[in-house]
């Protein structure tokens, strides 16, 4: 497998690792969109959040929370933080290994920005009926 994040976990390529726990690893993004932009990955290879087991998902989110608290207590002093995980090419996922971005915000027009497009919205009642009946 040629997964760059697996190579980071296995220490085959260098990364600016800032924290880790049993199931997750956090490192600085090499193409940051703000100071402190961090990527938190599962140590075990999962393609995306939907495929991730619950224990690993908890490890990733625990590390996301720890990183966020450390950022807020650091000299960076972000005004806010965006949390992001894309799933699939169409959603912007580039590396097909479950990861979350922790992106500090220092100004409204800096860092991560959300552009909303709602061209294909269906009837909310029909969508509600469809989703409320989903069973495991």
Among all residues, which ones are annotated catalytic? 99
DSSP at 35 = T
Sign of the dihedral defined by the CA atoms of residues 102, 108, 111, 113, in that order:
positive
Whole-angstrom Cα distance, residue 75 to residue 62?
22
Sign of the dihedral defined by the CA atoms of residues 72, 82, 20, 65, in that order:
positive
């Amino acid at each position: 497998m040629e997964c760059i994040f697996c190579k980071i976990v296995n220490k085959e390529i260098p990364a600016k690792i800032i924290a880790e726990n049993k199931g997750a690893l956090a490192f600085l993004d090499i193409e940051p969109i703000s100071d402190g932009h961090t990527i938190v990955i599962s140590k075990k290879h999962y393609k995306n959040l939907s495929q991730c087991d619950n224990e690993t998902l908890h490890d990733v989110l625990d590390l996301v929370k720890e990183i966020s608290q450390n950022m807020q207590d650091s000299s960076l002093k972000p005004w806010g933080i965006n949390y992001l995980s894309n799933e699939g090419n169409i959603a912007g996922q580039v590396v097909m290994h479950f990861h979350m971005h922790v992106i500090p915000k220092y100004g409204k027009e800096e860092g991560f920005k959300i552009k909303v497009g709602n061209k294909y919205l269906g009837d909310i009642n029909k969508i509600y009926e469809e989703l409320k009946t989903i069973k495991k």
